[in-house]
């Protein structure tokens, strides 16, 4: 069956205004052990019985034809995206801000579909940053309700398309129902292998490094490791991107003409190739994504100066 990401038209991801820091998304279920609510249990049951068999009947990614000039052997394994410009997109059209968020979700769906077709293994998106908690309360509550509603309505597609969902960030700050929903979605899709979508919510690069250091300090205090044992490898095992086989993005894309990484995956982006697009996120589609991938494949990657 052809790939189809028909999520309901509710915004899952948002982007920052030009006057504030980026608006970004993803949690860390390994630190949570909340009991499953009836809602989450029903969701998992639906995932198991709705589309499990269909995942085995899909054509392999290798059968998909790539656009002219794009090489499968040079495809990035992990692409990260800072989805900036949703609010500006709406204001330029005299639309309410929520319309920009809805259009941004449509762009995300398109990019997820393209990643699956073209053989990209991991897509990380910055959806709600730690700094965004300082936004007006009504705006934050609106976004939390959008996240919850979208996930409730759209979980079946991830199992049907064999997509794994991982959420990174400080989940403890999210509404309890949303925490449980995200944790259960991660658990329900953890064995899916076609593609992994990592959503960063209540996340920042500073937070990720600090929480990793705290974990290592606790292990040292408990006598599990010596301070002298701490190295790059141990550090990376404690970062929240340990949820994926490809923790370091090969390519980072930021939309809306801004030239910052805005506290996103500071450790993981050490040797990542950067691409800055002028398009606002809701306008970022296949043509813009192809341009970024072609630019990536034309570069000679270096690790060092």
Q: Which residues of 163-191 are buried (b: 16+ CB within 10 A; e: fewer)?
A: bbbbbbbbbeebeeebbbbbbbbbebbee
Helix/strand/coil (H, E, C) string of the chain?
Answer: CCCCCCCCCCCCCCCCCCCCCCCCECCCHHHCCCCCCHHHHHHHHHHHHHCCHHHHHCCCHHHCCCCCCCCHHHCCCEEEEECCCHHHHHHHCCCCHHHHHHHHHHHHHHHHHHHHHHCCCEEEEEEEEHHHHHCCHHHHHHHHHHHHHHHHHHHHHHHHCCEEEEEECCHHHCCHHHHHHHHHHHHHHCCCCCEEEEEEEEECHHHHHHHHHHHHHHHHHCCCCCHHHCCHHHHHHHCHHHHCCCCCCCEEEECCCCCCCCCCCCCCCCCCEEEECCCCHHHCCHHHHHHHHHHHHCCCCCCCC
Is 131 catalytic? The answer is no
Query: Residues 181, 32, 130, CA angle at the centre, nearest 5°?
Result: 80
Of the candidates 62, 84, 94, 250, the residue annotated as catalytic is 84
* The residue to which tokens 């730690």 are assigned: 130
Residues listed for the chain: 305
Diameter of the chain measured on Cα atoms = 60
Q: Which residue is associated with the tokens 């920052």?
A: 16
Catalytic (active-site) positions: 84
């Amino acid at each position: 069956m052809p790939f189809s990401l028909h999520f309901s038209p509710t915004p899952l991801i948002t982007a920052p205004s030009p006057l504030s820091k980026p608006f970004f998304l993803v949690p860390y279920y390994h630190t949570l052990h909340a009991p499953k609510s009836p809602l989450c249990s029903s969701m998992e049951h639906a995932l198991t019985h709705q589309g499990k068999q269909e995942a085995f009947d899909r054509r392999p990614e290798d059968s998909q034809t790539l656009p002219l000039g794009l090489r499968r052997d040079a495809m990035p394994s992990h692409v990260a995206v800072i989805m900036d410009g949703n609010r500006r997109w709406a204001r330029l059209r005299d639309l309410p801000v929520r319309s920009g968020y809805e259009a941004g979700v449509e762009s995300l769906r398109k990019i997820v579909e393209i990643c699956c077709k073209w053989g990209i293994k991991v897509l990380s998106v910055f959806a709600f940053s730690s700094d965004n908690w300082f936004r007006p309360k009504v705006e934050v509550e609106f976004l939390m309700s959008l996240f919850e509603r979208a996930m409730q309505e759209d979980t079946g597609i991830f199992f049907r398309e064999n997509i794994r969902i991982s959420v990174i960030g400080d989940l403890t700050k999210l509404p309890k129902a949303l925490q449980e929903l995200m944790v259960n979605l991660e658990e329900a899709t953890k064995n899916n292998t076609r593609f992994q979508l990592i959503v960063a919510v209540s996340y920042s690069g500073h937070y990720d490094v600090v929480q990793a250091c705290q974990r290592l300090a606790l292990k040292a205090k408990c006598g599990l490791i010596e301070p002298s044992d701490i190295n790059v490898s141990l550090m990376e095992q404690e970062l929240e991107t340990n949820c994926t086989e490809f923790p370091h993005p090969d390519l980072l894309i930021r939309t809306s003409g801004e030239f910052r990484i805005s506290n996103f995956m500071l450790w993981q982006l050490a040797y990542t190739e950067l691409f800055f697009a002028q398009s606002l996120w809701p306008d970022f589609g296949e043509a813009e994504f192809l341009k970024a991938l072609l630019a990536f494949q034309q570069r000679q990657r270096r690790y060092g100066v």
